[in-house]
Amino acid sequence: MSARRQAVLHARGLERHYGDLTALAGVDLTVHAGEMVALVGPNGAGKSTFLGLAGGLLTPSAGTVQISRAPAGSIEARAATSFLPDLPSLYDDLSLDEHLEYVGRLHGAEDWQERGKRLLERLGLADRAGDLPSKFSRGMRQKSSIALAFVRDFSLLLADEPFDGLDPTSREAFGELIDDAVAGGAAVIVSTHRADVLERAHRCVALSEGSVAYDGPPGSAELSDLA
Q: Please tell me whether residue 167 adopts helix, strand or coil conformation.
A: coil
**Can you give the pLDDT at residue 34?**
96
Whether 199 maps to a domain, the answer reads yes
Q: Encode pLDDT of 116-137 as tens digits.
A: 999 999 999 999 999 999 889 9
Whether 227 maps to a domain, the answer reads no
Average pLDDT, rounded, for the chain: 92
**Can you give the pLDDT at residue 5?**
76
Contacting residues for 205 by C-beta, under 8 A, at least 6 apart:
29, 37, 38, 39, 40, 212, 214, 215
**121/61 Cα distance (integer angstroms):** 42
Q: Encode pLDDT of 68-102 as tens digits.
A: 999 999 999 999 999 999 888 899 899 999 999 99
**Can you give the pLDDT at residue 87?**
87
**Can you give the pLDDT at residue 2?**
44
Whether 92 maps to a domain, the answer reads yes
CATH assignment of the domain containing 79: 3.40.50.300
DSSP 78-127: HHHEEEE-SS----TTS-HHHHHHHHHHHTT-TTHHHHHHHHHHHTT-GG
How distant, in Å, are the alpha carbons of 19, 21, 33, 128 from that of 1?
42, 40, 11, 44
pLDDT at 206 over 60: yes
Whether 224 maps to a domain, the answer reads no
Q: Encode pLDDT of 143-157 as tens digits.
A: 999 999 999 999 999
**Can you give the pLDDT at residue 227?**
58
pLDDT at 3 over 70: no
Higher pLDDT, 79 or 225: 79
CB 61 within 8 Å of CB 17: yes
- Domain extent for 118: 3-218
Band of the pLDDT at 222, cuts 50, 70, 90?
low
Instruction: Kindly report the pTM of this predicted structure.
Output: 0.92
Higher pLDDT, 43 or 4: 43
pLDDT at 1 over 60: no
DSSP state of 5: G
Number of domains within the chain:
1
Whether 223 maps to a domain, the answer reads no
**31/185 Cα distance (integer angstroms):** 12
Whether 119 maps to a domain, the answer reads yes
Q: What is the CA radius of gyration of the chain?
A: 17
**181/81 Cα distance (integer angstroms):** 13
**Can you give the pLDDT at residue 158?**
98
Whether 24 maps to a domain, the answer reads yes
Whether 154 maps to a domain, the answer reads yes
Q: Please tell me whether residue 92 adopts helix, strand or coil conformation.
A: coil
